[in-house]
Amino acid sequence: MDSAKFKPVIEQLTHIQKGAAEVIRAEELKAKIEQSAKTGKPLRVYLGVDPTAPDIHLGHTVVLRKLKHFQDMGHTAIFLIGDFSAMIGDPTGQSETRPPLTREQVDANAKTYLAQVYKILDREKTEVRYNSEWLGKMSSFDVVRLCGHYRLARMLEREDFRSRLANNQPISVHELLYPLLTAYDAVALEADVEIGATEQKFNLLVHREIQREYGQPSEVALTMPILVGLDGERKMSKSLGNYIGIHEAPGEMFGKLMSISDELMWSYYELLTDFAEPVIIRLREEVRSGVLHPMDAKMQLAHVIIAGFHGESAAKNAADEFQRVFRDRQAPAEAPRRVLKLGEPRRLSALLVELQLVASRSEAERLMKQGGVEIDGQRADDVKREIDLSRPSEFLLRAGKKKFVRIVVE
């Protein structure tokens, strides 16, 4: 590659280090980028992912986006699928030995995962590798040799292992092999840089050391922060229900993004958009000073994120729908339709329960008193109110901020 095709070194460093939690080591990254610019040879940068689950949420995209940043700067982006290591299981953050995945599970997850990855990475410029290419071919001699390059005492310094030992919880020997085998990925790829989440720091440090043991220069380890989920407290996780999937409908994504706190919004700007740091600082100041409403800043954030996965048109439609329903208090473009038969008057609170808009009569009455129920845009706060079902009619019923139902009496 012609060195003229690379961005200036300072521009590369600024873009690559944006949002990073730690660069080990920053001076090595600068030296590698300078050498790359001088020789015209792109850096080999990789992200290793064990396909333990088929779906990607925004939390996963933080490291994927960083790999894309290297790709944008002209370097070789390698997406490594840990099909071999997934069958061992990463012990990071585990309080007990995790059950191994079958080859069928890994293959199915990898196929689905890869299809989603290309929403972020350039398909034509991404080098996809599987660590079974080399790990599956290692002889018992190769494994013993690899183990001889690292001390057991250092392995047991790992917080996960130390905690389990202290609590008399078992550690299987194959778990000790995980960081060593994944370290050999770096050797096989001749990697210059590896990207991982902050919780992967121990593994990445092992990878650097094993590369040296095999006579290679140590890769730079770049860690990215963990994305906090919708609850504003814990890491984004499907099991915790605080996630946003990248294949969710645009409107659903928009609503979820608008639900995050004003403070958390800035972390999302940092980790999920390409807005430069000065731009984010300016936006924060505009919100702080009252020039920009926090909801408008959040709507801009949601638009940018959704456009990246679903396109500009879908993002605009989702924003327009949110504006109509939640800010202008109008009905969604397609409110669900429910038909009620002609009959005796019905208590509104009972009707709300019947339509499954609330869980109980007491919840319905509380919502009505709070002004959370409307009929055709008019507040219905009388808990004794009855709905006339004696003649054909049609009206729009709203319960809470998000639930609209068009009622047809016939």
Share the mean pLDDT of the chain. 88
SS3 47: strand
Residues 6+ apart with CB under 8 A from 232: 260, 261, 263, 264
List the domain boundaries for the chain. 3-224, 250-327, 337-409
For residue 406, the surrounding DSSP H or E stretch is: strand 403-409
Residues 6+ apart with CB under 8 A from 173: none
- Residue percentage of the chain with pLDDT more than 70: 93
> Which residues on adjacent β-strands are paired with residue 79?
47, 128
- Residue 334 confidence class, pLDDT cut points 50, 70, 90: low
Q: 337-409 in CATH: which number?
A: 3.10.290.10
- Residue 340 confidence class, pLDDT cut points 50, 70, 90: confident
SS3 96: coil
Q: pLDDT digit string (tens) for 194-239? A: 999 999 999 999 999 999 999 999 999 999 999 999 989 999 988 7
Does domain 3-224 fall under CATH 3.40.50.2000? My reply is no
Q: pLDDT digit string (tens) for 93-104? A: 554 555 667 788
The pLDDT of residue 32 is 97
Q: pLDDT digit string (tens) for 168-186? A: 888 888 788 888 999 999 9
Q: pLDDT digit string (tens) for 259-316? A: 899 999 999 999 999 999 999 999 999 999 999 999 999 999 999 999 999 999 999 9
Q: What share of the chain is helix, strand, coil (3-state, %, to 5)?
A: 50, 15, 35
Beta strand pairing status for 393-399 and 403-409? antiparallel
- Residue 165 confidence class, pLDDT cut points 50, 70, 90: confident
- Residue 241 confidence class, pLDDT cut points 50, 70, 90: confident
* Distance from C-alpha of 96 to C-alpha of 88, rounded to nearest angstrom: 13
The pLDDT of residue 92 is 62
Q: pTM for this one? A: 0.76
Smallest CA-to-CA distance from 30 within 44, 40, 41, 16 is with 16
SS3 303: helix
- Residue percentage of the chain with pLDDT more than 90: 53
The pLDDT of residue 270 is 96
The pLDDT of residue 95 is 47
Locate tokens 């940068």: which residue? Answer: 45
Q: Using N-to-C axis directions, what is the helix angle for 262-272 and 294-310, rounded to 10°?
A: 30
Q: pLDDT digit string (tens) for 127-156? A: 999 999 999 999 999 999 999 998 888 888
Does domain 250-327 fall under CATH 1.25.40.10? My reply is no
